[in-house]
Amino acid sequence: MDLAGKTILLTGGTGSFGGAFVERVLDSTPDTVIRIYSRDELKQSEMRARLDDERLRFLIGDVRDRSRMSRAAQGADILVHAAAMKQVPACEYNPFEAVRTNVLGAQHVVDAAIDAGVERVVALSTDKAVNPVNLYGATKLCAEKIIIQGNAYAAQSKTRLACVRYGNVVGSRGSVVPLFRQQTLDGRLTITDTRMTRFWITLDQAVDLVLYALEHMVGGEVFVPKIPSMKVVDLAEAMAPGVPRDITGIRPGEKLHELLLTSDECRHAIDAGRVYVVLPEHPWWESHPNWINGKPLADGFVYSSDHNDEWLDAKALGEMLP
């Protein structure tokens, strides 16, 4: 999508994804304005100092605050919603706080975008939202539903909304990579289960996916990238060969393998080449044209981290690590 001259509102703009997205857009589009919307003034100050770019606008605010979201969205052409509570233990211990940010926050994004006439909204989701087993995943599933169904409320406006859904991001804050790095210094790694597998995506690939969705969306889609799987034990070997390991057992709310597409979703999803696209099952979608070349998925198809055509070994993982 041509972002030239556009104003982008980015919630959660100081996070791992936000930093990568901002740098990409600033490097590729000379006259795009990006509004960084987040609640941490220190992180905003650090980003301002690091990037030192007059095209950035820094707005203190919380997606929980509907009136502030509405004010931030005025005059924006595009809204990328990356704000979330995503630490599983924190969400389990503070459940309603997770609901307020991830669920009510998504509703405020929809309302603000429609009221301000924002043309395109892309919200970030996660593999944890597929058949969720913890509160974080459940709140992100709710957020997906709210964003997608927001198109029904936007039917009389120019606003269109879609989601992207992907797996673990290499080196993002709170992920296993920083944990293993610290444990390597301590001389001992903890692994919950030697059978565990995960999907793996880089920050650059996540940004590519969002830009792809902004360009191709009609409204109501969930874009799922085709990304490799990895075994957690291979990651440990890549990061800390020879370092002793303790097997601690799967934690509450943790899966052995991750899902990005279920067999139920595959009935209304297509293979579009570099991505799978889950199409909505709502009456307002029926009038949309077939916007992208794609083929239906086989009946019963499941896209899970333990049944994947592409795998990363220890060497490949080592080359991907930031």
Per-residue pLDDT reduced to its tens digit, 178-205: 888 899 999 999 999 999 999 999 999 9
pLDDT (0 to 100) of residue 317? 87
Please, is 118 exposed, middle or buried when counting C-beta atoms within 10 Å of its C-beta (0-12, 13-18, 19+)? buried
Per this entry, what is the length of the chain?
A: 322
Residue 136 lies in a domain: yes
pLDDT (0 to 100) of residue 201? 94
Residue 161 lies in a domain: yes
Measured at the alpha carbon of residue 29, what is the angle toward residues 222 and 219, in degrees to the nearest 5? 20
Q: Is 255 a catalytic residue?
A: no
Cβ-based neighbours of 251, under 8 Å, separated by 6 or more: 88, 192
CA 164 and chain centroid, separation: 6
pLDDT (0 to 100) of residue 174? 65
Residue 71 lies in a domain: yes
Residue 2 lies in a domain: no
Q: How do 168-169 and 303-304 pair as beta strands?
A: unpaired
Residue 1 lies in a domain: no
Residue 300 lies in a domain: yes
Q: Which of 54, 148, 68, 158 is nearest to 106 (CA)?
A: 148
Residue 169 lies in a domain: yes
* End-to-end CA separation in angstroms for the chain: 28
Question: Model pTM?
Answer: 0.95
Domain extent for 277: 7-320
Q: What are the tokens at 172?
A: 């993002």
Q: Which pLDDT tens digits describe the chain residue by residue (322 residues)?
A: 789 999 999 999 999 999 999 999 999 998 999 999 999 999 999 999 999 999 999 999 999 999 999 999 999 999 999 999 999 889 999 999 999 999 999 999 999 999 999 999 999 999 999 999 999 999 999 999 999 999 999 989 999 999 999 998 987 766 788 888 899 999 999 999 999 999 999 999 999 999 999 999 999 999 999 999 999 999 999 999 989 999 999 888 889 999 999 999 999 999 999 999 999 988 777 766 666 778 999 999 999 999 999 999 988 988 888 7
CA 67 and chain centroid, separation: 24
Residue 245 lies in a domain: yes
Residue 92 contacts residue 76 (beta carbons within 8 Å)? no
CATH number at residue 123: 3.40.50.720
Residue 20 contacts residue 42 (beta carbons within 8 Å)? no
- Of residues 6, 43, 86, 128, which has the active-site annotation? 128
Q: How do 295-296 and 269-271 pair as beta strands?
A: antiparallel
Query: How many folded domains does the chain comprise?
Result: 1
DSSP string of 21-62? HHHHHHHH-TT-EEEEEES-HHHHHHHHHHH--TTEEEEE--
Bridge partners for 189 per DSSP = 245
